Amino acid sequence: MKKLLRTLLLALCGTASFLSAEACTNFIVTRGASTDGSVMVSYAADSHWLYGALYHTPAGRYRAGAELPVYDWDSGRFLRNIPQAAETFNTIGNMNEHSLIIAETTYGGRPELADTTGGIDYGSLIYITLQRARTAREAIRTIVELADTYGYASGGESFSIADRDEAWIMELIGKGFADDGRGGNARRGIVWVARRIPDGYVSGHANQARIATFPLDDPENCLYAPDVVSFAREMGYYEGPDAEFSFCDAYAPLEFGAMRGCEARVWSFFRTVADGMERYEDYALGRSAADRLPLWVKPRTKVSPKSVFDAMRDHYEGTPLDMTADIGAGGHGCPYRWRPMTFEVDGTEYTNERATATQQTGFWFVAQARPWVEPDMGILWFGVDDAATSCLTPIYCSATEVPECFREGNGSMLEYSPTSAFWLFNRVTNFAYMRYDRIAADIRTVTDAWENTHLELVALIDEAALRLPEKKRTRLLTQYSAEQAQVLFDRWSRLDRYLLVKYMDGNVKGEHGDVHDFLRTEDPAAHFIDNGSGKPIPGKIDFPGYSEKWKRAVAADRGELLRVLH
């Protein structure tokens, strides 16, 4: 039991030294695999203590000798100062003005490889690299240089790195600590490997290292640390020939929790877009590692941006892991299991499923690098809180202003703010958890309408922006991004009120029309059916009760006491 619990913690939260790096999910779609020719990367930043905000760093020029302070992204702890670059790029979220995208998931890996003296953590690697690199290949070089120069302060990470032409998976881990005799670390730096995803394919990772064997003589498609194999031998992780070396097996050995809690999310995405994924079901269930999930697959048809949006909302629906189908979903099909990740009954330990959509998401996005427009016209489709009951709104990568509702400092995990999107979306979502089978459906209709409309609107904005010089284009794209985010906030505020009126106390009030009619009417009170007396008293209320499975479970548990006697 203790071994299983440790396995799940390592797989889902990183090593014991880095438990603040909670489980995240990335899906990657190459140009040739997308319906519009964009490169897409999705990311859910999942943590019980991460506040959902949109980070922004303006472009800058710096004098020689300027320094940049580095703070651990998870804890806020100061790590060190490093030399500032002479020029930095504008970044918005996990994208920069050149349409470079970087996202991550933590796999933790072998705990003895943690370097407590490291000067730069995984989050800082992402955001500093976005300020300094233009392309995916430049980003890989920058990450390696930063980690090797200043020491790596986090556990094992998988990075998604993409630009307008290419998409890569890069996996890295520290080398632990060995005293160099001067108080420093003789093993400072990382071992790593990066593979380019073939055009026309999709990939993903979710808190388990996924790069197994890799070509040693194909620098166009595979890059790696010169000591990635020799260091594994030195540490006793590997004894075979170089050509058969597997990064993930050496540095993040596969266990039940890694398959069931991590790889299963990638499998669920693959099965929605590609054929033949049923062969990996036992692997996803954690029953057998004999037939390992491939690093990438070719989709049956090209994948649209909306399909990627919706893939981030997955709860294993339609699979044996469907979180709406068992008694754990309660009487209203709620696809969430509150933590901890495991529980014990009569000496047997059980796991709660960990799906792509989860309650502890701070923020999430689907980023698009689009080669048919200017590099500064990439789009970060951005949202906060649980992906299944929240909504994405377009933020252009050259935006120089953060909407008030997404601004850092507008509230925190310990401070409610009425103007914060994170708190508003959490209000709506936590209410939905109470009657998920009904409330989530109303939310989804609003989400789909917003996202589909804006997927069409951005084409019109693109057309207008392309006719403008760069500075005016930046102003237009910034204004559009900020204004639409605030429009979404206002719409969600009305949705919040609508859901409370409709579903208060477990009842369902009758309506004239649907949620869209409520959101656009000037007299929301007239939306609900009254009793005809001229007073605002409900005239039709439904009492939907509970699911059949739940009723049968209650009857089995307390039937003798609850049975109606005649």
Cβ atoms of 98 and 369 within 8 Å: the answer is no
Low-confidence ranges of the chain (pLDDT < 70): 1-22
Cβ atoms of 479 and 506 within 8 Å: the answer is no
Give the separation between CA 76 and CA 413, rounded to whole angstroms.
14
Give the separation between CA 206 and CA 264, rounded to whole angstroms.
8
Q: Can you spell out the DSSP letters for 45-104?
A: EE-TT------EE--EE--TT-EEEEE-TTT--EEEEEEPPSEE--EETTEETT--EEEE
- Find all residues with CB under 8 Å of 256, minimum gap 6, and list them: 4, 7, 8, 286
Give the separation between CA 173 and CA 276, rounded to whole angstroms.
32
Structural element, H or E, at residue 461: helix 436-465
Measured at the CA of 205, the angle between CA 203 and CA 209, to 5 degrees, comes to 120
Closest alpha carbon to 282 in 272, 290, 270: 290
Residue owning tokens 């909302």: 313
Q: What angle do the packed helices 470-503 and 436-465 form, to 10 degrees?
A: 160
E strands in 175-264? 190-196, 202-205, 222-224
Give the separation between CA 11 and CA 263, rounded to whole angstroms.
10
The pLDDT, as a whole number, for residue 1 is 37
What pairs with residue 412 in β-bridges? 415
The pLDDT, as a whole number, for residue 525 is 80
Q: What are 323-327's contacts with CB under 8 Å, separation 24+?
A: 323/353, 323/355, 324/436, 324/437, 327/549, 327/550, 327/553
In a 3-state reduction of DSSP, which class is residue 358?
coil
For 67, the token pair is 């320094």
Q: How would you classify the pairing of strands 60-61 and 87-88?
A: antiparallel
* Measured torsion, CA atoms of residues 306, 311, 313, 316, in degrees rounded to the nearest 10: 150
Give the separation between CA 536 and CA 418, rounded to whole angstroms.
28
Give the separation between CA 89 and CA 97, rounded to whole angstroms.
7
Give the separation between CA 79 and CA 128, rounded to whole angstroms.
14
Q: State residue 493 phi and psi, 5-degree precision.
A: -65, -40
Give the separation between CA 122 and CA 155, rounded to whole angstroms.
8
Q: Is 537 left (phi over 0), alpha (psi -120 to 50) or beta?
A: beta
The pLDDT, as a whole number, for residue 18 is 32
Give the separation between CA 391 and CA 493, rounded to whole angstroms.
13
Q: pLDDT tens across 6-40, in order?
A: 333 333 333 333 333 357 999 999 999 999 999 99
Which amino acid is present at 463?
E
Cβ atoms of 498 and 519 within 8 Å: the answer is yes
Closest alpha carbon to 127 in 85, 167, 188: 85
Between the CA of residue 358 and those of 41, 313, 386, 433, what are the distances in Å?
A: 18, 8, 6, 12
The pLDDT, as a whole number, for residue 526 is 86
What pairs with residue 508 in β-bridges? 542
Neighbours of 145 (CB within 10 A): 13
Q: CB-based burial of residue 289 (10 Å sphere; 0-12 exposed, 13-18 middle, 19+ buried)?
A: middle
For 32, the token pair is 């040739």
Give the separation between CA 209 and CA 249, rounded to whole angstroms.
8
